Protein backbone atom coordinates (compact mmCIF):
# COMPACT_ATOMS: atom_id res chain seq x y z
CA UNK A 1 0.00 0.00 0.00
CA UNK A 2 1.80 3.11 -1.21
CA UNK A 3 1.56 6.37 0.71
CA UNK A 4 3.39 8.41 -1.93
CA UNK A 5 1.68 10.00 -4.90
CA UNK A 6 2.97 8.99 -8.28
CA UNK A 7 4.22 11.99 -10.23
CA UNK A 8 1.57 14.71 -10.39
CA UNK A 9 -1.32 12.35 -9.76
CA UNK A 10 -3.86 13.82 -7.35
CA UNK A 11 -5.22 11.78 -4.46
CA UNK A 12 -8.91 11.99 -3.54
CA UNK A 13 -10.34 10.60 -0.30
CA UNK A 14 -13.87 9.22 -0.66
CA UNK A 15 -15.94 8.78 2.49
CA UNK A 16 -18.09 5.71 2.03
CA UNK A 17 -17.60 2.71 -0.23
CA UNK A 18 -21.12 1.44 -0.95
CA UNK A 19 -22.83 1.38 -4.34
CA UNK A 20 -23.67 5.08 -3.76
CA UNK A 21 -19.99 6.02 -4.04
CA UNK A 22 -19.10 3.61 -6.85
CA UNK A 23 -19.85 6.05 -9.72
CA UNK A 24 -17.62 8.65 -8.02
CA UNK A 25 -14.70 6.26 -7.56
CA UNK A 26 -14.96 4.98 -11.13
CA UNK A 27 -15.11 8.51 -12.57
CA UNK A 28 -12.12 9.63 -10.51
CA UNK A 29 -10.07 6.73 -11.81
CA UNK A 30 -11.10 7.56 -15.39
CA UNK A 31 -9.79 11.07 -14.77
CA UNK A 32 -6.46 9.74 -13.51
CA UNK A 33 -7.15 10.55 -9.87
CA UNK A 34 -5.91 8.19 -7.19
CA UNK A 35 -8.71 7.20 -4.79
CA UNK A 36 -8.62 6.30 -1.09
CA UNK A 37 -11.89 4.93 0.30
CA UNK A 38 -13.06 4.64 3.91
CA UNK A 39 -15.94 2.46 5.16
CA UNK A 40 -16.70 -0.77 6.98
CA UNK A 41 -15.80 -3.72 4.76
CA UNK A 42 -19.35 -5.14 4.78
CA UNK A 43 -21.07 -3.91 1.61
CA UNK A 44 -18.03 -1.91 0.51
CA UNK A 45 -18.25 -2.56 -3.23
CA UNK A 46 -15.66 0.18 -3.86
CA UNK A 47 -12.90 -1.64 -2.00
CA UNK A 48 -11.90 -3.59 -5.12
CA UNK A 49 -12.10 -0.51 -7.36
CA UNK A 50 -10.37 2.15 -5.26
CA UNK A 51 -6.57 2.35 -5.18
CA UNK A 52 -6.58 2.14 -1.39
CA UNK A 53 -9.29 0.96 0.99
CA UNK A 54 -9.39 1.38 4.76
CA UNK A 55 -12.03 -0.53 6.80
CA UNK A 56 -12.77 2.43 9.06
CA UNK A 57 -16.25 3.68 10.00
CA UNK A 58 -17.16 6.81 8.05
CA UNK A 59 -18.03 8.57 11.32
CA UNK A 60 -14.61 7.90 12.89
CA UNK A 61 -13.30 11.34 11.98
CA UNK A 62 -9.97 11.26 13.78
CA UNK A 63 -8.96 7.83 12.48
CA UNK A 64 -9.80 8.93 8.93
CA UNK A 65 -7.93 12.21 9.39
CA UNK A 66 -4.82 10.30 10.48
CA UNK A 67 -4.88 8.09 7.39
CA UNK A 68 -5.63 11.05 5.10
CA UNK A 69 -2.55 12.81 6.40
CA UNK A 70 -0.49 9.68 5.80
CA UNK A 71 -1.89 9.38 2.28
CA UNK A 72 -1.23 13.09 1.62
CA UNK A 73 -4.64 13.56 0.03
CA UNK A 74 -5.37 16.55 -2.19
CA UNK A 75 -9.11 16.56 -1.62
CA UNK A 76 -11.96 14.77 0.11
CA UNK A 77 -15.61 14.26 -0.82
CA UNK A 78 -18.62 11.95 -0.82
CA UNK A 79 -21.84 11.78 -2.83
CA UNK A 80 -25.41 10.88 -1.86
CA UNK A 81 -24.56 10.35 1.83
CA UNK A 82 -25.59 12.74 4.59
CA UNK A 83 -23.75 10.66 7.19
CA UNK A 84 -20.42 11.31 5.43
CA UNK A 85 -20.81 15.11 5.24
CA UNK A 86 -19.52 15.97 8.76
CA UNK A 87 -16.43 13.77 8.27
CA UNK A 88 -15.66 15.37 4.91
CA UNK A 89 -15.87 18.85 6.46
CA UNK A 90 -13.82 17.84 9.52
CA UNK A 91 -10.93 16.43 7.49
CA UNK A 92 -10.98 19.23 4.92
CA UNK A 93 -10.90 21.88 7.64
CA UNK A 94 -8.13 20.12 9.59
CA UNK A 95 -5.96 19.73 6.49
CA UNK A 96 -6.67 23.10 4.89
CA UNK A 97 -8.37 21.52 1.87
CA UNK A 98 -11.29 22.81 -0.18
CA UNK A 99 -14.55 22.10 1.61
CA UNK A 100 -17.44 23.40 3.64
CA UNK A 101 -17.01 24.33 7.29
CA UNK A 102 -17.80 21.99 10.17
CA UNK A 103 -20.58 24.39 11.20
CA UNK A 104 -22.07 24.26 7.71
CA UNK A 105 -21.94 20.45 7.78
CA UNK A 106 -23.84 20.41 11.07
CA UNK A 107 -26.60 22.62 9.66
CA UNK A 108 -26.90 20.59 6.46
CA UNK A 109 -27.24 17.23 8.27
CA UNK A 110 -29.45 18.15 11.25
CA UNK A 111 -32.95 18.95 9.97
CA UNK A 112 -33.79 21.03 13.05
CA UNK A 113 -30.66 23.20 12.80
CA UNK A 114 -31.32 23.43 9.08
CA UNK A 115 -34.85 24.75 9.55
CA UNK A 116 -33.66 27.26 12.13
CA UNK A 117 -31.12 28.53 9.59
CA UNK A 118 -33.87 28.73 6.94
CA UNK A 119 -36.12 30.80 9.20
CA UNK A 120 -33.26 33.12 10.12
CA UNK A 121 -32.55 33.77 6.43
CA UNK A 122 -36.13 34.09 5.22
CA UNK A 123 -36.36 30.74 3.44
CA UNK A 124 -39.96 29.54 3.21
CA UNK A 125 -40.45 26.26 5.08
CA UNK A 126 -43.30 24.54 6.95
CA UNK A 127 -43.83 25.32 10.65
CA UNK A 128 -41.72 22.91 12.71
CA UNK A 129 -40.44 21.83 16.11
CA UNK A 130 -38.16 19.12 17.48
CA UNK A 131 -38.31 16.42 20.15
CA UNK A 132 -35.29 14.71 21.70
CA UNK A 133 -34.93 11.38 23.44
CA UNK A 134 -36.13 11.71 27.02
CA UNK A 135 -38.65 14.53 26.44
CA UNK A 136 -41.53 13.90 28.80
CA UNK A 137 -44.37 15.27 26.65
CA UNK A 138 -45.33 16.45 23.21
CA UNK A 139 -46.57 19.86 24.35
CA UNK A 140 -44.20 21.34 21.76
CA UNK A 141 -46.82 20.68 19.07
CA UNK A 142 -49.40 22.87 20.79
CA UNK A 143 -50.80 25.28 18.21
CA UNK A 144 -49.54 23.24 15.23
CA UNK A 145 -52.11 22.01 12.72
CA UNK A 146 -52.58 18.35 11.91
CA UNK A 147 -51.73 16.48 9.78
CA UNK A 148 -48.08 16.55 10.81
CA UNK A 149 -45.02 14.86 9.34
CA UNK A 150 -42.53 13.25 11.72
CA UNK A 151 -38.98 12.36 10.65
CA UNK A 152 -35.56 11.64 12.18
CA UNK A 153 -33.42 14.76 12.35
CA UNK A 154 -30.47 13.13 10.59
CA UNK A 155 -31.55 10.33 8.24
CA UNK A 156 -32.42 10.08 4.54
CA UNK A 157 -34.04 7.56 2.21
CA UNK A 158 -37.48 8.10 3.82
CA UNK A 159 -36.32 6.21 6.91
CA UNK A 160 -38.56 6.91 9.89
CA UNK A 161 -40.80 9.36 7.99
CA UNK A 162 -44.48 9.22 8.98
CA UNK A 163 -47.53 11.39 8.36
CA UNK A 164 -49.86 11.49 11.36
CA UNK A 165 -53.42 12.73 11.62
CA UNK A 166 -53.77 13.17 15.38
CA UNK A 167 -52.19 12.92 18.81
CA UNK A 168 -52.91 9.19 19.09
CA UNK A 169 -50.61 8.55 16.11
CA UNK A 170 -48.01 11.12 17.06
CA UNK A 171 -46.39 9.37 20.03
CA UNK A 172 -45.47 6.11 18.23
CA UNK A 173 -44.31 8.05 15.14
CA UNK A 174 -42.02 10.23 17.26
CA UNK A 175 -40.69 7.19 19.09
CA UNK A 176 -39.86 5.47 15.79
CA UNK A 177 -38.18 8.59 14.37
CA UNK A 178 -36.06 8.99 17.51
CA UNK A 179 -35.09 5.32 17.40
CA UNK A 180 -34.01 5.70 13.76
CA UNK A 181 -32.07 8.91 14.43
CA UNK A 182 -28.34 8.86 15.12
CA UNK A 183 -28.63 11.94 17.36
CA UNK A 184 -31.90 10.68 18.91
CA UNK A 185 -33.93 13.66 17.78
CA UNK A 186 -37.14 13.89 15.74
CA UNK A 187 -38.40 16.84 13.70
CA UNK A 188 -42.14 17.46 13.56
CA UNK A 189 -43.52 19.77 10.87
CA UNK A 190 -46.87 20.79 9.50
CA UNK A 191 -47.84 18.88 6.38
CA UNK A 192 -48.15 20.82 3.15
CA UNK A 193 -51.26 19.43 1.46
CA UNK A 194 -52.26 19.38 -2.20
CA UNK A 195 -48.69 19.60 -3.40
CA UNK A 196 -46.12 17.94 -5.58
CA UNK A 197 -42.42 17.54 -4.87
CA UNK A 198 -39.34 18.54 -6.80
CA UNK A 199 -35.65 18.38 -6.07
CA UNK A 200 -32.88 20.65 -7.31
CA UNK A 201 -29.30 19.68 -8.14
CA UNK A 202 -26.66 22.37 -7.92
CA UNK A 203 -22.94 22.89 -7.53
CA UNK A 204 -21.03 25.66 -5.77
CA UNK A 205 -17.45 26.88 -5.77
CA UNK A 206 -16.19 29.72 -3.63
CA UNK A 207 -19.78 30.48 -2.65
CA UNK A 208 -20.98 30.87 -6.24
CA UNK A 209 -24.01 28.64 -6.83
CA UNK A 210 -24.96 27.06 -10.17
CA UNK A 211 -28.34 25.36 -10.67
CA UNK A 212 -27.92 22.26 -12.84
CA UNK A 213 -31.33 20.61 -13.04
CA UNK A 214 -34.77 20.39 -11.41
CA UNK A 215 -36.31 16.96 -10.93
CA UNK A 216 -39.95 15.90 -10.57
CA UNK A 217 -40.45 13.32 -7.82
CA UNK A 218 -43.07 10.55 -7.66
CA UNK A 219 -43.69 9.04 -4.21
CA UNK A 220 -45.99 6.57 -2.49
CA UNK A 221 -47.58 9.50 -0.66
CA UNK A 222 -48.68 9.22 2.95
CA UNK A 223 -47.70 7.87 5.33
CA UNK A 224 -44.03 7.24 4.36
CA UNK A 225 -43.47 9.17 1.10
CA UNK A 226 -41.01 6.68 -0.37
CA UNK A 227 -39.71 7.65 -3.81
CA UNK A 228 -41.02 5.62 -6.75
CA UNK A 229 -39.47 7.69 -9.53
CA UNK A 230 -37.51 10.79 -10.50
CA UNK A 231 -37.77 12.59 -13.84
CA UNK A 232 -35.80 15.39 -15.50
CA UNK A 233 -36.49 18.09 -16.44
CA UNK A 234 -39.35 18.98 -14.10
CA UNK A 235 -42.62 20.03 -15.71
CA UNK A 236 -42.71 23.59 -14.43
CA UNK A 237 -43.13 27.02 -15.95
CA UNK A 238 -40.18 29.38 -16.46
CA UNK A 239 -41.68 31.67 -13.80
CA UNK A 240 -41.88 28.85 -11.24
CA UNK A 241 -38.36 27.73 -12.12
CA UNK A 242 -37.08 31.21 -11.27
CA UNK A 243 -38.93 31.20 -7.94
CA UNK A 244 -37.49 27.78 -7.09
CA UNK A 245 -33.98 28.85 -8.04
CA UNK A 246 -34.12 31.97 -5.86
CA UNK A 247 -35.44 29.98 -2.89
CA UNK A 248 -32.67 27.38 -3.29
CA UNK A 249 -30.04 30.10 -3.54
CA UNK A 250 -31.26 31.54 -0.23
CA UNK A 251 -31.26 28.09 1.33
CA UNK A 252 -27.72 27.23 0.17
CA UNK A 253 -26.52 30.57 1.53
CA UNK A 254 -28.34 29.99 4.83
CA UNK A 255 -26.44 26.71 5.28
CA UNK A 256 -23.18 28.28 4.07
CA UNK A 257 -22.60 25.58 1.45
CA UNK A 258 -19.61 27.13 -0.29
CA UNK A 259 -18.24 24.15 -2.20
CA UNK A 260 -19.47 21.05 -4.00
CA UNK A 261 -22.82 19.52 -4.75
CA UNK A 262 -26.12 20.40 -3.12
CA UNK A 263 -29.47 18.63 -3.27
CA UNK A 264 -32.56 20.65 -2.34
CA UNK A 265 -36.05 19.22 -1.85
CA UNK A 266 -39.11 21.43 -2.15
CA UNK A 267 -42.89 21.16 -2.04
CA UNK A 268 -45.06 23.15 -4.42
CA UNK A 269 -48.75 23.77 -3.76
CA UNK A 270 -51.48 23.89 -6.39
CA UNK A 271 -51.25 27.70 -6.34
CA UNK A 272 -47.47 27.40 -6.87
CA UNK A 273 -46.38 28.45 -3.40
CA UNK A 274 -42.94 26.98 -2.73
CA UNK A 275 -41.81 25.45 0.59
CA UNK A 276 -38.25 24.27 1.25
CA UNK A 277 -38.09 20.82 2.85
CA UNK A 278 -34.33 20.37 3.16
CA UNK A 279 -30.97 20.86 1.47
CA UNK A 280 -28.11 18.38 1.66
CA UNK A 281 -24.48 19.27 0.96
CA UNK A 282 -24.26 16.36 -1.46
CA UNK A 283 -25.65 15.01 -4.72
CA UNK A 284 -29.15 13.63 -4.75
CA UNK A 285 -29.34 9.87 -4.27
CA UNK A 286 -31.46 7.45 -6.29
CA UNK A 287 -29.11 8.06 -9.27
CA UNK A 288 -30.29 11.68 -9.56
CA UNK A 289 -26.85 13.23 -9.25
CA UNK A 290 -24.66 10.40 -10.44
CA UNK A 291 -26.64 9.58 -13.61
CA UNK A 292 -29.75 11.63 -14.41
CA UNK A 293 -28.13 15.08 -14.53
CA UNK A 294 -25.56 13.89 -17.07
CA UNK A 295 -28.21 12.09 -19.12
CA UNK A 296 -30.58 15.08 -19.26
CA UNK A 297 -28.06 17.93 -19.59
CA UNK A 298 -24.79 16.41 -20.76
CA UNK A 299 -22.97 18.04 -17.81
CA UNK A 300 -20.44 15.79 -16.06
CA UNK A 301 -21.65 16.34 -12.49
CA UNK A 302 -19.28 13.74 -11.05
CA UNK A 303 -16.27 15.47 -12.57
CA UNK A 304 -17.54 18.78 -11.24
CA UNK A 305 -17.68 17.40 -7.70
CA UNK A 306 -14.19 15.92 -8.05
CA UNK A 307 -12.83 19.21 -9.39
CA UNK A 308 -14.41 21.09 -6.48
CA UNK A 309 -12.80 18.79 -3.92
CA UNK A 310 -9.39 19.03 -5.59
CA UNK A 311 -9.59 22.80 -6.01
CA UNK A 312 -9.46 22.59 -9.81
CA UNK A 313 -13.03 23.69 -10.58
CA UNK A 314 -13.06 26.30 -13.36
CA UNK A 315 -15.62 28.01 -15.55
CA UNK A 316 -19.37 27.60 -15.80
CA UNK A 317 -20.91 24.11 -15.54
CA UNK A 318 -22.46 24.02 -19.01
CA UNK A 319 -24.38 21.06 -20.38
CA UNK A 320 -24.01 19.74 -23.92
CA UNK A 321 -27.62 18.80 -24.65
CA UNK A 322 -31.22 18.86 -23.38
CA UNK A 323 -32.90 15.48 -23.12
CA UNK A 324 -35.29 13.60 -20.85
CA UNK A 325 -34.02 11.21 -18.22
CA UNK A 326 -35.36 9.42 -15.18
CA UNK A 327 -35.51 6.38 -12.96
CA UNK A 328 -38.43 4.14 -12.01
CA UNK A 329 -38.26 1.81 -9.01
CA UNK A 330 -39.86 -1.63 -8.71
CA UNK A 331 -42.41 -1.71 -5.89
CA UNK A 332 -46.02 -2.79 -5.17
CA UNK A 333 -47.22 0.52 -6.62
CA UNK A 334 -45.13 0.07 -9.80
CA UNK A 335 -45.30 -3.65 -10.58
CA UNK A 336 -45.09 -2.86 -14.29
CA UNK A 337 -41.45 -1.86 -13.74
CA UNK A 338 -40.52 -5.50 -13.22
CA UNK A 339 -41.50 -6.41 -16.78
CA UNK A 340 -39.53 -3.45 -18.17
CA UNK A 341 -36.43 -4.53 -16.28
CA UNK A 342 -36.72 -8.13 -17.49
CA UNK A 343 -36.97 -6.93 -21.10
CA UNK A 344 -34.58 -3.97 -20.85
CA UNK A 345 -32.48 -5.16 -23.80
CA UNK A 346 -35.45 -4.63 -26.09
CA UNK A 347 -35.94 -0.94 -25.23
CA UNK A 348 -33.37 1.53 -26.55
CA UNK A 349 -34.41 4.10 -23.94
CA UNK A 350 -33.15 1.95 -21.04
CA UNK A 351 -29.63 2.98 -19.99
CA UNK A 352 -29.25 0.57 -17.09
CA UNK A 353 -31.41 -1.61 -14.88
CA UNK A 354 -31.25 -4.09 -12.04
CA UNK A 355 -33.76 -6.57 -10.65
CA UNK A 356 -32.75 -6.93 -7.01
CA UNK A 357 -35.64 -9.20 -5.99
CA UNK A 358 -38.47 -10.97 -7.82
CA UNK A 359 -40.98 -10.13 -5.10
CA UNK A 360 -42.06 -6.67 -4.01
CA UNK A 361 -42.76 -5.68 -0.41
CA UNK A 362 -44.63 -2.80 1.21
CA UNK A 363 -42.45 0.29 1.19
CA UNK A 364 -41.57 2.07 4.42
CA UNK A 365 -38.13 3.28 3.23
CA UNK A 366 -36.10 3.42 0.03
CA UNK A 367 -34.16 0.27 0.89
CA UNK A 368 -37.39 -1.77 0.54
CA UNK A 369 -37.56 -1.28 -3.25
CA UNK A 370 -36.85 -4.34 -5.39
CA UNK A 371 -35.16 -2.93 -8.50
CA UNK A 372 -34.97 -0.05 -10.93
CA UNK A 373 -34.39 1.08 -14.49
CA UNK A 374 -32.80 4.32 -15.70
CA UNK A 375 -33.85 5.81 -19.03
CA UNK A 376 -32.90 8.58 -21.45
CA UNK A 377 -35.11 9.88 -24.25
CA UNK A 378 -35.12 12.58 -26.90
CA UNK A 379 -38.90 12.77 -27.13
CA UNK A 380 -40.32 12.65 -23.62
CA UNK A 381 -40.58 10.86 -20.31
CA UNK A 382 -40.94 7.16 -19.85
CA UNK A 383 -44.60 7.36 -18.89
CA UNK A 384 -46.51 5.00 -16.63
CA UNK A 385 -48.58 2.51 -18.64
CA UNK A 386 -52.24 3.46 -18.32
CA UNK A 387 -53.85 2.12 -15.15
CA UNK A 388 -50.56 0.84 -13.68
CA UNK A 389 -50.10 3.39 -10.85
Question: 137 and 15 share a domain?
Answer: no
| Extended beta strands in the chain, E state | 11-15, 34-38, 52-54, 75-77, 128-132, 148-152, 162-164, 185-190, 195-205, 208-219, 227-232, 260-269, 274-280, 324-329, 350-355, 371-377
* DSSP notation for 100-141: --HHHHHHHH-HHHHHHHHHHTT-----EEEEETT----GGG
CATH number for 239: 3.30.470.20
> pLDDT for 87-143, tens place per residue?
999 999 999 999 999 999 999 999 999 999 999 999 999 888 888 887 757 888 888
- Compute CA distances 231 → 4, 66, 257, 280, whole Å: 43, 41, 25, 19
Residues 280-293 pLDDT 10s: 999 999 999 999 99
How far apart CA 305 and CA 278 sit, in angstroms, is 20
User: What distance in Å separates the CA atoms of residue 259 and residue 305, rounded to the nearest whole number?
Assistant: 9
Of 41, 75, 97, the last residue of a domain is 97
Please write the tens of the pLDDT for every residue from 216-247: 999 998 888 899 999 999 999 999 999 999 99
pLDDT number for residue 275: 95
Q: Residue 3 falls within a domain, yes or no?
A: no
If asked whether residues 354 and 276 sit together in one domain, one would say yes
Mean pLDDT, rounded, of the chain: 93
Q: What is the mean pLDDT of residues 136-154?
A: 85
Of residues 229 and 183, more confidently modeled: 229
Residues 66 and 151 placed together within one structural domain of the fold: no
Domain boundary among 161, 190, 219: 190
Based on the domain organization, do 21 and 88 belong to the same domain?
yes
CA atoms of 285 and 29, how far apart (whole Å): 21
Higher pLDDT, 343 or 133: 343
Task: Name the pLDDT band for 6 (thresholds 50, 70, 90).
Answer: very low
Residue 104, domain member (yes or no) = no
| pLDDT greater than 50 at residue 336 | yes
User: Which pLDDT score, from 0 to 100, does residue 216 have?
Assistant: 98
Do residues 243 and 365 share a domain? yes
Average pLDDT over residues 170-176: 90
Picking from 94, 106, 84, 35, the residue whose alpha carbon sits closest to that of residue 62 is 94
Task: With H, G, I as helix, E, B as strand and everything else as coil, classify residue 215.
Answer: strand
Average confidence (pLDDT) over 40-63: 97
Residues 161 and 240 in one domain: no
**Number of domains observed in the structure of the chain:** 3
Dihedral angle of Cα 117, 161, 182, 126, to the nearest 10 degrees: 10
Q: At residue 386, does pLDDT exceed 90? A: no
CATH number of the domain residue 164 falls in = 3.30.1490.20
Nearest in space to 164 (alpha carbons), one of 137, 189, 198, 199: 189
Q: Would 389 be classed as within a structural domain? A: no
pLDDT at 3 over 80: no
Answer with the one of 97, 118, 138 that is the final residue of a domain. 97
77: in domain: yes
**Is the per-residue pLDDT at 309 higher than 90?**
yes
Looking at the domain assignment, is residue 115 inside a domain? no
Do residues 231 and 302 share a domain?
yes
Task: Name beta bridge partners: 215.
Answer: 199
- Helix (H/G/I), strand (E/B), else coil: 364: coil
67 secondary structure, DSSP code: H
- What's the average model confidence in pLDDT over 45-57? 97
Q: Which helix (H) or strand (E) holds 337?
A: helix 336-342
Same domain, 212 and 241: yes
Confidence label for 2 from pLDDT (cuts 50, 70 and 90):
very low
Task: Say yes or no: 93 and 153 in one domain.
Answer: no
- Residue 76 CB burial class (10 angstroms; 0-12, 13-18, ≥19): buried
CATH number of the domain within which 32 lies: 3.40.50.20
Residue 180 region by backbone torsions, left for phi larger than 0, else alpha for psi between -120 and 50, else beta:
alpha
State how far the Cα of 350 lies from the Cα of 346, in Å rounded to an integer: 9
- Counting residues of the chain whose pLDDT is more than 90, the rounded percentage is 79
Biggest alpha carbon–alpha carbon distance for the chain: 64
Q: Look at residue 313 and tell me if it is in a domain.
A: yes
- Work out the average pLDDT over 51-65: 98
What confidence score (pLDDT) does residue 229 get?
97
Structural domain contains residue 382: no
Per-residue model confidence (pLDDT) at position 138:
80
Q: Are residues 229 and 275 in the same domain?
A: yes
Note down the domain range covering 161.
127-190
pTM: 0.91
344-367 confidence digits (pLDDT tens): 999 999 999 999 999 999 999 999
Mean pLDDT confidence for 205-217 = 97
Q: Is the pLDDT of residue 66 over 70?
A: yes
pLDDT score of 387: 61
Q: Are residues 207 and 352 in the same domain?
A: yes
Residues 240 and 300 in one domain: yes
Using CA atoms, how far apart are residues 99 and 84, in angstroms rounded to an integer?
13
Instruction: Note whether residue 117 is domain-resident.
Output: no
Question: Given a cut of 80, is residue 5 above it in pLDDT?
Answer: no
Amino acid sequence: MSMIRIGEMKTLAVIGASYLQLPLVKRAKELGVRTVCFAWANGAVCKDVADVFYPISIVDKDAILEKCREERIDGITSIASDVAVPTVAYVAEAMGLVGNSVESAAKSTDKFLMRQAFVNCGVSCPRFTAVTDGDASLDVVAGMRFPLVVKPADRSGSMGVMKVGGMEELCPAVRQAIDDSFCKKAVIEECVTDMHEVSVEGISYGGRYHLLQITDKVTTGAPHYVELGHHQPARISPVLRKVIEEEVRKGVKALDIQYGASHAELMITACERVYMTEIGARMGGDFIGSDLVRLSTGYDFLKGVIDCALGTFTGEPVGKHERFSGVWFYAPETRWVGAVIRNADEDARIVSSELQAEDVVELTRSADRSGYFIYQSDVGRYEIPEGRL
